[in-house]
């Protein structure tokens, strides 16, 4: 009888320790579920519009697929539509404060319009002629070859944080 109770106590302690270890990186009681969703728009697009608080990673992957990475509750509410050569990605209705990353292929894209609080990055892309238009509080760090322009939307300014004032 005492041995059975001791086994139950040890199992309960083990489960508690494993639970605390699993949540240690996210803070007390916070569990982050990361999910992936691939979207194939099936149509040729020349322009992409992204809305919402997202991280955008630009790639030269083959095809026209979009990859979403983040909490499955957030991914489920992302809306994508294609109209007249423009792919619209709307992530404004996120349900959590978790990071949502959108991986975009920019091989044939000439215009990327971003509205919201976005971080745009790439580790190295090749572009023919790409304009990135920013509407909101965004940070851009794109390593590229080819012609790329970063343009502020109406009513916005661009500050080059890599340069020191007076340079």
Q: For residue range 14-64, what is the model confidence (pLDDT) as tens digits?
A: 333 333 333 344 444 444 556 666 666 567 788 999 999 999 999 998 666
Q: Give pairs for 82-88: CB < 8 Å, separation 24+.
A: 82/41, 82/42, 82/43, 82/45, 85/43, 85/44, 85/45, 85/46, 85/47, 86/45, 86/46, 86/47, 86/48, 86/49, 87/41, 87/45, 87/47, 87/48, 87/49, 88/48, 88/49, 88/51
Distance CA 154, CA 156 (A): 6
pLDDT surpassing 80 at residue 131: yes
For residue 98 the two structure tokens come to: 């978790």
- First-to-last C-alpha distance (Å) of the chain: 79
What pTM value is reported for the model? 0.73
Distance CA 17, CA 96 (A): 26
In the prediction, which pLDDT does 33 show? 53
In the prediction, which pLDDT does 30 show? 47
pLDDT surpassing 50 at residue 9: no
Could you read off the pLDDT of 59-87 as tens digits, one per residue?
A: 998 666 788 888 888 988 999 888 888 99
At 99, the pLDDT band (50, 70, 90 cuts) reads confident
In the prediction, which pLDDT does 53 show? 92
In the prediction, which pLDDT does 42 show? 65
129-133, 150-154, 162-166: lowest mean pLDDT where?
162-166
């Amino acid at each position: 009888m005492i041995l059975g109770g001791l086994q139950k106590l040890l199992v309960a302690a083990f489960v508690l320790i494993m639970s605390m270890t699993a949540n240690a990186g996210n803070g007390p009681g916070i569990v982050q579920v990361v999910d992936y969703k691939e979207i194939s728009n099936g149509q040729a697009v020349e322009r992409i519009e992204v809305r919402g608080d997202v991280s955008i990673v630009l790639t030269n992957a083959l095809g026209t697929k979009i990859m979403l990475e983040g909490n499955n509750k957030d991914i489920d509410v992302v809306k994508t539509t294609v109209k007249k050569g423009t792919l619209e990605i709307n992530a404004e209705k996120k349900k959590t404060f978790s990071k949502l990353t959108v991986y975009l292929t920019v091989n044939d894209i000439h215009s990327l319009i971003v509205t919201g609080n976005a971080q745009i990055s790439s580790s190295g892309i090749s572009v023919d002629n790409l304009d990135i238009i920013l509407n909101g509080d965004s940070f851009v760090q794109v390593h590229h070859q080819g012609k790329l322009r970063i343009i502020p939307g109406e009513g916005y300014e661009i500050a080059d944080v890599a340069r020191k004032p007076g340079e």
